C-alpha cells in the first residue's frame, strides 16, 4: 500500500492491531485496498510454539509473546 494516499495519522502498523482475528481481517482488508482477506487455515504450530493463521493473502500470522500480531516467515 502506498503511503502517498494515506492521510497523516491514519496508518496503522500490524503490531498495533487488536489481538483478535476479526481485527486482523479488518486491518488486512484495509491494507489490501478493500479486498476481503479471510482465514484459510489455523493450527497450533509446535515449531513456533503458538497458534498460527494462514490467511487468503498468502501470508501466515501469529500473536507474539506480547500479544502483538506478526508475520510468520518460513512457516515456523
Count of H helices and E strands in the chain? 1, 4
Question: Is residue 4 domain-resident?
Answer: no
Query: Is residue 72's pLDDT more than 70?
Result: yes
Question: Is residue 5 domain-resident?
Answer: no
Tens digit of pLDDT for each residue in 12-52? 899 999 999 999 999 999 999 999 999 999 999 999 899 99
pLDDT of residue 67: 97
pLDDT of residue 74: 77
Question: Is residue 30 domain-resident?
Answer: yes
Residue 59 has, within 13 A of its CA and on its CB side, a CA count of: 14
Per the structure, the count of domains in the chain is 1
pTM for this prediction: 0.81
Range of the domain at 44: 12-72
Q: How far apart are CA 40 and CA 47, in angstroms?
A: 20
Mean pLDDT of 48-72: 96
Amino acid at each position: 500500500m502506498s503511503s502517498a494516499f494515506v492521510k497523516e495519522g491514519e496508518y496503522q502498523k500490524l503490531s498495533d492491531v487488536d489481538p483478535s482475528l476479526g481485527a486482523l481481517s479488518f486491518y488486512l482488508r484495509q491494507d489490501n485496498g478493500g479486498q476481503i482477506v479471510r482465514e484459510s487455515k489455523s493450527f497450533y504450530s509446535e515449531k513456533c510454539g503458538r497458534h498460527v493463521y494462514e490467511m487468503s493473502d498468502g501470508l501466515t500470522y501469529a500473536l507474539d509473546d506480547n500479544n502483538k500480531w506478526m508475520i510468520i516467515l518460513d512457516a515456523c
